[in-house]
Amino acid sequence: MAEAASSTGTVKTRYLHDVDNDTKSRLYPGPGVISSITGVSLSEAHNAIRQVRYGSRWLDFPRTPPIKRTRDGEIEEALRLFGYDGYWRRLPDRPTFAAYLNGRTGMERDHPCVVFLSTHCVAVSGGVFCDIFSRGIVVDIDEAEGRRKKVGRVPVLTKRIAPSTITSREPVSKAKKAGANSKRDQLFREAIKAETGATRIRITPNEVFVILPDQGGWYWLGSRDSLEEQILEPQRDGHLRGNTDEAAAYRAAMGY
């Protein structure tokens, strides 16, 4: 377990941190904003979101649940775990990002804010900015992309509170990890077979190929990451529906 390092007091204004991506994961908006505002590493931001989403029970999951999409409330609660608090401002008129920046007053002009745009969230503090399109690097606000996107709500971080202890997982031995991975790979194969009706399946580190009953050759089904996401977080318009028992078993093994 790790405790968020900081003391109560004032929030540093007009300042953001470059995101320290110490993971093998790509940068997603929610964790990136948390890392930029607090200065914690991306893995610590992921752990904070896991704690908000699952509580400490995620430590009992066979695999550390990945963090990709995040809800507004999860970002707010994760920031509180790191000792950052403030207030929400909702903008029913939904100004463009450019108009919002020009119209800032009071604490919003210099305190760190999470600005929820129509497509993702970004970190803003005074005249500096950070998001996934700046690749986690802090840039001048004038270089911010997406200035025509609409702003719906903005949490403004105005004070420091006592941080909370955030759970983390100890490294797993290579032998134990290999066994767990083998079991999950088998469940993944079974889910793909049940979802598609494939007679044969070939899975590479990055892609999935199948032979369907009415076909004589290999058919490229999609990238492994994309198919895994469709099973773990089913969408109505997804190629895979994720509604088979095998898909449910794979989600359970992955901590979903």
The band of 170, judged by pLDDT with boundaries at 50, 70 and 90, is low
Number of other residues whose CB lies within 10 A of the CB of residue 69:
11
Contact between residue 8 and residue 161 where contact means Cβ atoms under 8 Å apart:
yes
Give residue 120's pLDDT. 94
DSSP-derived secondary structure letter, 118 = S
Give residue 171's pLDDT. 57
How much is the pTM?
A: 0.66
Each residue of 88-100: pLDDT tens digit? 999 999 999 999 9
Q: Report the pLDDT averaged over residues 55-78.
A: 90
Q: Report the pLDDT averaged over residues 199-204.
A: 87
Q: State the residue for tokens 């029970």.
A: 57
CA dist 149 and 97 (Å) reads 6
- Mean pLDDT, the chain, whole residue set: 88
- For residue 63, the one-letter residue type is R
Give residue 6's pLDDT. 44
Each residue of 146-160: pLDDT tens digit? 999 999 999 999 999
Q: State the residue for tokens 């420091």.
A: 160
Query: For 156, phi and psi rounded to 5 degrees?
Result: -105, 120
Report CA-CA distances (Å) from 167 to 1, 64, 188: 4, 12, 28
